[in-house]
Amino acid sequence: MIELINGIAVSKDFDGKLFGRMNKKEDTVIQIGDKKIGDGEFAVIAGPCSVESKEQILDIAKFVADNGAEFLRGGAFKPRTSPYSFQGLEVEGLKYLHESKQKTGLPVVTELTSLKYIDEYMKYVDVIQVGARNMQNYDMLKELGKIDKPILLKRGIAATINEFLMSAEYILSGGNEKVILCERGIRTFSDYTRNTLDIGAIPLLKKITHLPVIVDPSHASGLWWLIEPLSLAAKAVGADGIIVEVHNQPENALSDGGQSIKFDVFKEMMNKLL
């Protein structure tokens, strides 16, 4: 049973939990270089699904930086459904992301798929993304609890709110307080979108937890033309930002081209969002 008392969601389940607003009322603000997430400003993390080449990531990084993005995304290690699909440029990709940061000033957000590479991530990456498929990789979460690096934790494909929060608790209880939650759509019977954006989860989570909550409209919808309305919806319900896929040539993208927005669409969306 969840009760709302003075705007804070209160339940026996949250009692004593580090994520709970019951125990820490003030919003957690995550400092990343000279940027912040959770400070009341709407943060935009933008970039391609995958890093495909040095030129590609640099070109996209420059464009999104010039148009209001504060962070650069791009997968170097890709968790793909098929083993025959592009798997990412791996450590080379991390280096290209780092180079793009040096040229644009955008801190880098990228997914970790194996703890084998943690040293490279500590060196080249500003925010470590835990993907939906690894939300319940408890060994990984425990290790990420021991490091001093912000973690962007995505909600699992079929994870309940409680499971999502308990995964965050694994990281927090290890001593790493810098956790950003990301609602990226859950699998439902709805058939025209890749996933279903659980829009109600955002105000709900904001009442339960002091951690920042962002939205990924790209994986939530799978359709580039739904990105703008879902991003505006995310802002309207109080999200702290979005992580969005942008590509210079979506038609030739090596992953998720159909849900990636082109430069002009990104620019127009940013004019409405910020």
- Binding footprint of Mn ion on the chain (CB under 5 A): 49, 256
**Considering only residues 17, 184, 194, 206, which one is a binding residue for ligand PEP as defined by CB under 6 A?**
184
The answer to whether 172 touches 145, Cβ cutoff 8 Å, is: yes
**Considering only residues 20, 38, 47, 75, which one is a binding residue for ligand PEP as defined by CB under 6 A?**
75
Nearest to 231 by CA among 186, 255, 205, 199: 199
Quote the least distance from Cβ 48 to Mn ion, whole Å.
8
Tokens describing residue 90: 């791996």
Quote the least distance from Cβ 146 to ligand PEP, whole Å.
22
- Dihedral sign of CA atoms 204, 206, 212, 215 in order: positive
Nearest to 43 by CA among 70, 7, 5: 70
Which one of the spans 17-25, 127-135, 168-176, 227-235 is the region binding ligand PEP (CB under 6 A)? Answer: 127-135
Which one of the spans 5-13, 81-89, 128-136, 232-240 is the region binding ligand PEP (CB under 6 A)? Answer: 128-136
- Shorter beta-carbon distance to ligand PEP: residue 184 or 206: 184
**Considering only residues 45, 46, 49, 140, which one is a binding residue for ligand PEP as defined by CB under 6 A?**
49
Tokens describing residue 60: 């996209």
Biggest CA-to-CA distance, the chain = 52
- Shorter beta-carbon distance to Mn ion: residue 208 or 246: 246
- Picked from Mn ion, ligand PEP, none, the partner binding residue 183 (CB below 5 to 8 A depending on kind) is none
Number of helices (H) and strands (E) in the chain: give both, helices first. 9, 12
